[in-house]
Chain A
Amino acid sequence: MQRIKPFDHLILILGALFLITPVVMALMSSTQNAIDIHNNGLYFTPGSNAVPTYGKVLTHRGGFTGDVTGMRMLMNSMIMGIGFAVGKIVLSMMAAYALVYFRFRFATLLFWMIFTTLLLPLEVRIMPSYQVMSTLGLLNSYTGLIVPLLASATGTFFFRQFFRSVPDEMLEAARIDGAGPFKFFIDILVPLSRTMMAAIFIIMFIYGWNQYLWPLLMTTDESFYTLMRGIKSILQVWIGSQIPDYNEAFALAVLAMLPPVTVVVIFQRMFIKGLTESDK
């Protein structure tokens, strides 16, 4: 038995508190009303306003045109997150497969070119990307929102490293078993990469979910509003004596937190399984 060391636990507890406090604060404050928050600051105790606030956030038609609801924003964010994650996994897996298993000229050079783009954030190429999408007439569409950001150096890199760790004998056994390149990919590599896919899914879903600048640029139609923009727009109402609806902003933030948490909780099991159970 390991002796319980109070000091270690103290650090653990402090760390947990440090991370949880803001979340609790957001959750509690979202159940108060806006005036109380404005007067008294943030709350650590539950208020009585939970149901109306969340109801309003989800169904109230807001924005300039007055037809974008919280549900709509939630859906848009979902489409962004899942579209990003799935698209990036598919694309980077195929790219990595080509880089690792097919001998073609400049494969290494190509890989390093892809890898270097890791150093460049989206913001560097945001104007050219916008230009391309606008010329293609894809502004204000899900395609335009998702496709330009699908190429993923991170994903390609991770999958490449993973494929390289698959023993060569696996490929050779499959070749002797009569599996062509396509069959080998679908029958062997894809199932083997399940845990890797889960890990990339977590990262990419959250990346897509948190996108703010790109949707802001790409869409002018309010029906493409994402949650991130919704939160911002609630707080942008300092007109005259109007108090921003803090409680609604917090409610929206809490809602925005739920899907990523769900994704992490679901895929974490596979993620950990992949890390602890080594397939020999």
Chain B
Amino acid sequence: MAHLSLRNVGKTYAGGTQAAVSGIDIEIADGEFIVLVGPSGCGKSTLLRMVAGLETTTEGEIHIGERLVNKLDPAERDIAMVFQNYALYPHMTVRDNMAYGLKNRGESKTTIAERVAEASRMLELGPYLDRKPRALSGGQRQRVAMGRAIVRQPAAFLFDEPLSNLDAKLRVSMRMEIRKLQKRLGTTSLYVTHDQLEAMTLADRLVVLNEGRVEQIGAPLEIYRKPASTFVASFIGAPAMSLLDARISDGAISLEGHALARVGNASGPVTLGLRAEDLRIAPQGIPLAVEHVEELGAQRIVHGTIGAQNIAVIEVGEAAIQDNVHVAVDPDKLHLFDTSTGRRLEVQSQPHQEMAL
């Protein structure tokens, strides 16, 4: 077990002009669960594979524990990896799959047997030890892949979208299992996913990546509550935060001519972020033309337009929804972003001047 540090890490593929990943600075404490999240092509898998040693690092330094590992082979880095398609050896039994890495490391037979027994007990793989991977279900295969990582007792676990081949229900339960297991073992983990829900539920800290750069690093809730940019705002949370063009004039935010709240920010155009769950349908407020309603059972998502801009509102009531309704929001639930850079602007509130409608 060890801490992990990435210092100004970057990668440019040979022949490529643009860096696939650049300027990544992350310090990961011992036992921390870090999730790298971002849309496909953002470089999250590349970054993980650089830590694993499967891709070369062209810039910066990667340390695992106290060791600089940039030039080390994957086998020498003391890490274990779980792949999306499991990458189990199809011709070996579950037992041999787990034992293979230990055998290559020259561990004694008794150690191997002990570790495999322990891992299979932890993962409830006991009855399947002598089966071949193809006789297992997706979830069981995933578990074998995790077992293969666990028996090695590595300094860090690397997960490369391990749950994306499973069906939705299994994904939820495996997600919890991974989290519990990691807590119990206390092994530093780096986990890559494009699923923001998985990211939110698993992470001690989230790293949101976009186009090879870090957009924001922080605890899941912190990122949810204070997204650092429009990119993070639209990526984390479902339904996505509605981002609307608004203006600040005369010390108030106005959206399509409707004043929302008084703020102390400078006048000018601004991007206004509204979370669907912060909005509510109210007797009066901003008029919303309803386009369609998604019924989810526990709640419903009302999609509509304010002026010509799309917006989503979560409604928990049971009443039928009219074609034209009014929505309101608390002023402290507003997110403001710079229109040109997309970075977050702190709302400079002016207390006692409620205009929340």
Interface residues of A (CB under 8 A from B): 167, 169-170, 172-179, 183, 187-188, 191-192, 194, 277, 279-280
A217 vs B104: C-alpha distance in the bound complex, in angstroms?
A: 49
Nearest-neighbour CB distance to chain B for A211, whole angstroms, equals: 33
- Near A by CB (< 8 A), chain B positions 116-146 give 133-134
Query: For residue B282, which residues in chain A have a CB less than 8 angstroms away from its CB?
Result: none
Identify 19 new A-B residue pairs, CB closer than 8 A, beyond the known A175-B75, A176-B81, A191-B91: A167-B87, A169-B84, A169-B86, A169-B87, A172-B54, A173-B89, A174-B89, A175-B54, A176-B54, A176-B80, A176-B101, A177-B101, A178-B104, A178-B105, A179-B75, A277-B134, A280-B85, A280-B133, A280-B134
Cβ of B264 within 8 Å of any chain A Cβ, yes or no, is no
Complex Cα distance A178/B80, Å? 11
Establish whether residues A169 and B134, one from each chain, have CB atoms under 8 Å apart when the complex forms: no
B246 contacts the other chain (CB 8 A): no
Q: With a CB–CB cut-off of 8 A, which chain B residues contact A194?
A: 91
A170 & B74 in contact (Cβ 8 Å cutoff): no
Q: B134 to chain A: which residues have CB within 8 Å? A: 277, 279-280
Chain A residues near B74 (CB, 8 Å)?
Answer: 172, 175-176
Residues 69-91 of B, flagged 1 when their CB comes within 8 A of A and 0 if not, give: 00001110001110111111111
B103 to chain A, nearest CB (A): 9
B101 partner, pick from A167, A170, A178, A188, beta carbons under 8 A: A178
Output the nearest chain A residue to B91 by Cβ-Cβ distance: A191
The answer to whether B231 has its CB under 8 Å from any CB of chain A is no
**Interchain nearest-CB distance for A186 vs B (Å):** 12
| Chain B residues close to A by CB (< 8 Å) | 52-54, 73-75, 79-81, 83-91, 100-101, 104-105, 133-134, 148
User: Is the pair A170, B89 in contact by a Cβ cutoff of 8 Å?
Assistant: yes
The complex places the Cα of A279 from the Cα of B89 at a distance, in Å, of 9
Least CB distance, A279 to chain B, in whole angstroms? 4
Chain A residues within an 8 Å CB radius of B133: 280
Residues of A contacting B105 with CB < 8 Å? 178
Task: Name, among A172, A175, A177, A279, the residue most crowded by chain B CB atoms within 10 Å (CB to CB).
Answer: A177
Are A187 and B73 neighbours in the complex by a CB distance under 8 Å? no
Cross-chain contact of A176 among B75, B84, B85, B89 (Cβ < 8 A)? B75
Is the beta-carbon distance between B90 and A173 smaller than 8 angstroms? no
Using known A-B contacts A177-B101, A178-B105, A179-B104, determine if residue A188 contacts B85 with beta carbons closer than 8 Å: no
Which one of B85, B104, B148 contacts A167 once the chains associate, using CB atoms below 8 Å? B85
Q: Most B CB atoms within 10 A — which of A176, A179, A187?
A: A176
Whether B90 pairs with A169 at a CB distance below 8 angstroms is no
Closest 6 CB pairs of A and B: A177-B101, A169-B87, A178-B75, A279-B90, A178-B104, A173-B87
The residues of A that contact B101 with a CB separation of less than 8 Å are 176-178
A170 to B83, CA, bound (A): 9
**9 sample A-B contacts, Cβ–Cβ < 8 Å, listed by A number:** A172-B52, A172-B81, A172-B87, A175-B53, A176-B75, A176-B80, A177-B148, A188-B89, A280-B133
> Once bound together, how far apart are the Cα atoms of A191 and B52, in whole Å?
26
Knowing A167-B85, A169-B85, say if A177 contacts B104 (CB, 8 Å).
Answer: yes
Contacts of B104 in A (CB 8 A): 177-179, 183
Q: Which residues of A contact B81 (CB under 8 A)?
A: 172-173, 176
Known: A167-B85, A277-B134, A280-B134. A176 touches B90 (CB 8 A): no
For B104, give the chain A residue with the smallest CB separation. Answer: A178
Bound CA–CA A235/B54 (angstroms) = 65
A175-B76 Cα distance, complex, nearest whole Å: 10
Q: Determine how close the nearest CB of chain B comes to the CB of A108; give it in whole angstroms.
A: 16
Output the least CB separation between B335 and chain A (Å): 40
B160 to chain A, nearest CB (A): 9
Most buried by B among A169, A192, A194: A169
A279–B101 CA distance with the chains assembled, in angstroms: 21
Contacts of B90 in A (CB 8 A): 192, 279-280
Q: Which residues of B contact A176 (CB under 8 A)?
A: 52, 54, 74-75, 79-81, 101
Q: Please tell me if the beta carbons of B80 and A187 are within 8 angstroms of each other in the complex.
A: no
Q: Give Cα distance in the complex from A186 to B86, angstroms.
A: 21
Whether the Cβ atoms of B83 and A173 lie closer than 8 Å is: yes
**Distance (whole angstroms) from the CB of B354 to the closest CB of chain A:** 57
**B75-A169 in contact (CB<8A):** no
The residue from B53, B75, B80, B87 contacting A170, defined by CB atoms under 8 A apart:
B87
Question: CB-CB < 8 A to A178: which residues of B?
Answer: 75, 101, 104-105
Cα separation A172 to B101 with both chains bound (whole Å): 12
For the complex, what is the distance from the CA of A178 to the CA of B148, rounded to whole Å?
13
Q: A172-B54, A280-B134 are in contact. Are A177 and B100 (CB under 8 A)?
A: yes
